[in-house]
């Protein structure tokens, strides 16, 4: 299995409107494959404007924010991609779609790297950030997963939050828990 890197992908529509989505980029030699399930704004954007930016971030609030409807994260222009990058990215890669593997549910956009840039140092792993990332994936699949699995995994991930979170990770976790509670309250 190829390595998958969890990033925030920025794309634009033909009018230049930017879209942000947490996605797993699939390693493919020197490039990356973006594989969004339909329906997806990222997919529609890539089909029409074949550029993207992979934003490598350590602010877990962006992952939690995007899966809980908080979409307003500051952007700045990229160098060679018309899609912008996140202002908070530690580093980013500008991508151009080289080939599209068609598929009814999950087309694969094979991308080559046009440009890479580093903005800030990576200062080490943090268990709570990882827990927020895992929690964001769970919350994005609430409608697909049994409640028992969600409850078990949230209970395990909460340990890392309690033991190792800073203020940003606690805020990100609270957004995820609010969304989980609202989802089950509406059942």
Ligand X SMILES: Cc1cc2nc3c(=O)[nH]c(=O)nc-3n(C[C@H](O)[C@H](O)[C@H](O)COP(=O)(O)O)c2cc1C
d(CA 118, CA 99): 26
Binding site for ligand X (CB under 6 A): 6, 21-24, 35-37, 40-42, 63, 67, 133, 136-137, 140
What would the 3-class secondary structure string for 137-186 be?
HHHCCCCCCCHHHHHHHHHHHHHHHHHHCCHHHHHHHHHHHHHHHHHHHC
Centre a 10 Å sphere on the Cβ of residue 142 and count the other Cβ atoms it contains: 16
Min separation Cβ 162 and ligand X, Å: 21
The residue at minimum Cβ distance from ligand X is 42
93: closest CA among 83, 103, 101? 83
When the beta carbons of 31 and 36 are compared against ligand X, the nearer one is 36
Min separation Cβ 66 and ligand X, Å: 7
Min separation Cβ 12 and ligand X, Å: 12
Min separation Cβ 186 and ligand X, Å: 19
d(CA 130, CA 160): 9
Q: Which residue has the tokens 């940003």?
A: 168
When the beta carbons of 137 and 142 are compared against ligand X, the nearer one is 137
When the beta carbons of 136 and 172 are compared against ligand X, the nearer one is 136
When the beta carbons of 35 and 49 are compared against ligand X, the nearer one is 35
């Amino acid at each position: 299995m190829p390595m998958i890197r969890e990033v925030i992908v920025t794309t634009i529509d033909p009018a230049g409107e930017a879209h942000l989505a947490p996605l797993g980029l699939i390693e493919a030699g020197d490039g990356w494959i973006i594989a969004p399930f339909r329906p997806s704004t990222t997919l529609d954007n890539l089909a029409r404007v074949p550029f993207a930016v992979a934003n490598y971030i350590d602010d877990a609030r962006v992952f939690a924010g995007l899966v809980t409807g908080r979409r307003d994260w500051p952007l700045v222009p990229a160098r060679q991609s018309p899609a912008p990058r996140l202002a908070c990215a530690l580093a980013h890669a500008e991508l151009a779609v080289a080939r599209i593997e068609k598929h009814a549910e999950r087309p694969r956009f094979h991308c080559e790297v046009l440009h890479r840039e580093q903005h800030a140092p990576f200062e080490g792993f943090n268990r709570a950030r990882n827990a927020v990332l895992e929690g964001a994936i769970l919350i994005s699949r609430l409608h697909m997963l049994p409640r028992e699995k969600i409850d078990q995994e949230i209970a395990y991930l909460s340990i890392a939050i309690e033991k190792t979170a800073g203020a940003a990770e606690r805020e990100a976790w609270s957004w995820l828990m609010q969304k989980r509670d609202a989802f089950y309250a509406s059942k």
